[in-house]
Amino acid sequence: MTENLAVNILRSNGFLNDEAQSVLRQEFRDPATYNAILQSIAFGATSRSEIAQKSLVDSRTLSKYLTVLEDMDFVVKEHPIFAGVEDLENASRGLYRIADPYVKFWFRFLASNSTLIMTQQEAISEWAAAVEPFFADFAAGTFEQVCRQYLTRLHFSGKLPFHLTTLGRWWRNGTEIDLVGADHDRRHCIAAECKYQNQKVSIRVLRSLQAKCEQLPVAEDAVFHYWIFSRVGFDDALIDLAAKDPYLHLVGMKQLLD
């Protein structure tokens, strides 16, 4: 799989090497500003102020470009779950992410790389040096989206213990929870962490998640079901705890993709 990705994307004559830039050239007369904005988001800028700073686009005109990118489905603007009307109507609030994983990959790893990679071995070597060390961090957002789809499937198949009326990310004042869901009264809730990392998830992740849930604007008597998703699995202590706790759910890659 990695070899195929390296050859088809990183190699200069790979059929996916220049696809993202070709689309931008077709859609925009002068794609330079859009390139700068998308590259800043691909490297981790999410708020308007961060995007303006990293892309060097004047904050007074940035809104126009972001609106175009939203309308064309290049970027998605997100608000935290439970956001009020004031937050939703305030144009300066919300966080941005690139909608398509391939476009995000291109702007993260290829947009500023002018090296001509002609052979399969060169592509594999470049992947090992320039992509692999940063891939877990890059893929975390996409992994989170897959976990959200998994919970959505359980919801619509009636396999969750209550009816969800909302599901999404939550953040406030530097604290973030990957996924939060709730019923209409916010008395029955889901809180999830999605870990695309190279080590097994420990019980500390659960304790951190439980502590963050205390900040959520839910009913005082809210009952939480905790979900933890992991790329490489869980340590023994967390597995033992999940076997005893019906409100703790552990999901590995095999179960996630079945």
How far is it, in rounded angstroms, from Cα 68 to Cα 147? 29
pLDDT tens column, 9-22? 888 777 677 777 77
The answer to whether 236 touches 244, Cβ cutoff 8 Å, is no
- Residue 85 confidence (pLDDT) above 70: no
Query: pLDDT value at position 29?
Result: 75
Q: Does the predicted model carry a pTM greater than 0.85?
A: yes
Stretch among 123-132, 173-182, 237-246 having the lowest mean pLDDT: 123-132
Chain center to CA of 100: 11
Query: pLDDT value at position 247?
Result: 97
**Using only C-alpha atoms, what is the Rg of the chain?**
20
Q: Find the mean pLDDT for residues 174-193.
A: 96
Query: pLDDT value at position 16?
Result: 77
The mean pLDDT of the chain is 91
> In percent, how much of the chain has pLDDT > 70?
96
Residue 163 tokens read as 């009816």
How far is it, in rounded angstroms, from Cα 145 to Cα 168? 10
Looking at the DSSP assignment, which residues form a beta bridge with residue 176? Answer: 171
Range from 18-27, 91-100, 176-185 that averages highest in pLDDT: 176-185
- Residue 87 confidence (pLDDT) above 90: no
Query: pLDDT value at position 7?
Result: 82
Stretch among 82-96, 164-178, 225-239 having the lowest mean pLDDT: 82-96
Query: pLDDT value at position 70?
Result: 94
User: Which residues, in sequence order, are CB contacts of 148 under 8 Å at separation 6+?
Assistant: 167, 168, 179
Confidence of residue 207 (pLDDT cuts 50, 70, 90): very high
Q: Find the mean pLDDT for residues 6-35.
A: 80
What the chain holds in terms of domains, given with CATH numbers, is: 2-118 (1.10.10.10), 140-257 (3.40.1350.10)
pLDDT tens column, 112-141? 776 777 888 888 898 999 899 999 999 999
Residue with tokens 């439980």: 210
DSSP letter at 115 equals -
- Residue 23 confidence (pLDDT) above 80: no
Query: pLDDT value at position 179?
Result: 98
How far is it, in rounded angstroms, from Cα 13 to Cα 107? 17
- Residue 1 confidence (pLDDT) above 70: no
The answer to whether 184 touches 195, Cβ cutoff 8 Å, is no
Confidence of residue 2 (pLDDT cuts 50, 70, 90): confident
Exposed, middle or buried by CB within 10 Å (0-12, 13-18, 19+), for 64?
Answer: exposed
Stretch among 87-91, 103-107, 217-221, 254-258 having the lowest mean pLDDT: 87-91
How far is it, in rounded angstroms, from Cα 172 to Cα 148? 20
